[in-house]
């Protein structure tokens, strides 16, 4: 894991436009510090949306794992069979 960029809150106050430009040009978040301590993390909208999408996928996978452990859900074979049928029929 890459160490995030860190900027003091005074830099954010003095040149917010430059900080925002830096965020737009990067997928990495910025850690904002005050008196040497991390107080906030900011990131671009694009990076935020991607991380939210990834989080949602992980939640779905966790639900699936739980269902499998409880003996619920669907077998891979049945999912593939239904997928093939949907693809052949042109339905979504």
pTM over 0.85: no
The domain that contains 31 carries what CATH number?
Answer: 3.40.1620
Query: Which range marks the domain in which residue 36 is found?
Result: 5-43
Both 51 and 85 in one domain: the answer is yes
Spatial contact of 56 and 64, defined as CB atoms under 8 Å apart:
no
* 71 and 59 together in one domain: yes
- Closest by Cα among 27, 59, 54 to 43: 27
Residue bearing the bigger pLDDT, 34 or 80: 34
Number of folded domains that form the chain: 2
80 and 51 together in one domain: yes
- Average pLDDT over the chain reads 88
Same domain, 13 and 32: yes
Residues 6 or more apart in contact with residue 18 via CB below 8 angstroms: none
The secondary structure of residue 2, as a DSSP letter, is P
Mean pLDDT to the nearest integer, 32-56: 94
Q: What is the pLDDT of residue 25?
A: 85
My answer on whether 31 and 54 are in the same domain is: no
- pLDDT (average), residues 4-19: 93
pLDDT at residue 72 in the model: 83
Q: Are residues 34 and 67 in the same domain?
A: no
């Amino acid at each position: 894991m890459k160490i995030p960029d860190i900027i003091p809150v005074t830099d954010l106050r003095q040149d917010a436009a430059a900080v925002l430009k830096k965020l737009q040009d990067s997928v990495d978040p910025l850690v904002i510090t005050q008196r040497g301590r991390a107080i906030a993390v900011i990131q671009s909208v694009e990076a935020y949306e991607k991380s939210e999408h990834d989080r949602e996928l992980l939640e779905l996978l966790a639900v699936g794992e739980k269902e499998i452990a409880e003996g619920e859900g669907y077998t891979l074979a049945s999912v593939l069979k239904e997928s093939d049928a949907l693809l052949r029929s042109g339905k979504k």
